[in-house]
Amino acid sequence: MDRLDNTVRPYAWGSTTAIPTLLGTEPTGEPQAEMWMGAHPGAPSRTGRGTLAEVVDADPEKELGAASVAKFGPRLPFLLKLLAAGAPLSLQVHPDLTQARAGYEDEQRRGVPLDAPHRNYKDANHKPELVCALTEFDGLCGFRAPAETADLLDGLGVASLKPYVDLLRAHPEDAALREVLTAILTADPEEMSRTVAETAAACDRLGGAYAPYAGIAHHYPGDPGVLAAMLLNHVRLQPGEALFLGAGIPHAYLDGLGVEIMANSDNVLRCGLTPKHVDVPELLRIVRFEAGDPGILRPEASPDGEEVYDTPIDEFRLSRHVLPDGSGVHDLTLPTPQILLCTAGTVHTGEHELAPGRSVFVPAGEKTEVSGSGTLFRATVLA
């Protein structure tokens, strides 16, 4: 079992206080957006045996287990994060596995450098993800019913929004959503900037259901992603609630601290709320134009006290143990690799005492017992 020393990524949208508060450290004044726990080459966790990537590479079957290696290859299939949003992240979607493989092979064949700003596919993997709120957590997830969005936009009283309102009231709904998003992302930049400014002012004046979009516009003035964001469901998670984001589902996180887990990939296609490259044709090919409820997940408790967040993929499995004082020793041994993350209280495992924000990597099959009083998240795979 290895204690992990993890990198905190200073992305501009990160909160300056949320991660330091959890860790019990002094804020630096700089944004601290994500703390990565895993073997991703971008920022692998460090252990007493080298980086976690080096540890896994040295003996994949010992560290990951034969079943995981057979199913996912000789690498840790997931990446676990603490995510602290102090401002909206870019509006984005992720490809499915077939799309990711084809896109990666195409860009490799065309010689697009991996670090090129216009590169869409950094690897050949999909990136389903799950975020579980540690604090109240705001986000956008999936398309709202077009008729509801039409009413929302119509209520702003902005004349330049009328063409979008009319399109959203047309049928079929999937075609209406596609036409509106295409129109927003391909509009004349100067005209769109004026429309966004008028929309933002109206949202700010009206508040209520419009307040989240006024906040987004404050961070991204004139960005067409502000209007694209208004097509989506606004979701407010309470601590312990979660969202699963599958392929093609447009989403963005707005504010709050959460535990995030994903397949080990960095493939993102952006829709807006970003100065980065937006590949509109490729984006429109990947987005699933389906309206529906975002589907807030709540954990399902098992007889041994483990609370599992059920998802339809195998690369990761996230669960939570809330350990009351005096609950004794709990056996968490598994034949698959694990990362254990404490988010509250004090949890003991092996020779390690885990305070909030501290984590360990447990090789497949290693005897794992935990005790103490606190909250422990467990990340593993279904192999």
Say which amino acid occupies 243: L
Q: Token pair for residue 305? A: 């006290």
Treating both helix axes as pointing N-terminal to C-terminal, what angle do 189-206 and 211-219 enclose, rounded to 10 degrees? 140
CA distances to 69, 180, 201, 372 from 183, in Å? 45, 5, 21, 55
- Respond yes or no: is residue 298 known to be catalytic: no
Q: What 3-state DSSP class applies to 91?
A: strand
Biggest CA–CA distance in the chain, Å, is 65
CA distances to 16, 22, 95 from 266, in Å? 24, 26, 10
The residue annotated as part of the active site, out of 3, 46, 75, 270, is 270
Beta strand 78-85 with 34-37 is antiparallel
In 110-224, where does DSSP find H-type helix? 146-154, 162-168, 173-186, 189-206, 211-219
Q: Peptide bond preceding 172: is omega within 30 degrees of 0, i.e. cis?
A: yes
Cα–Cα distance measured from residue 18 to residue 329, given in angstroms and rounded to the nearest whole number: 30
Cα–Cα distance measured from residue 291 to residue 174, given in angstroms and rounded to the nearest whole number: 8
Cα–Cα distance measured from residue 87 to residue 62, given in angstroms and rounded to the nearest whole number: 41
Q: Token pair for residue 199? A: 């929309």
Q: For residue 44, count CB atoms less than 10 angstroms from its CB and return exposed for 0-12, middle for 13-18, buried for 19 or more.
A: buried
Beta strand 129-133 with 242-245 is antiparallel
Report yes or no: 203 and 214 within 8 Å, Cβ to Cβ: yes
Residue 66: partners with Cβ closer than 8 Å, 6 or more residues away = none
Catalytic residue positions, numbered: 270
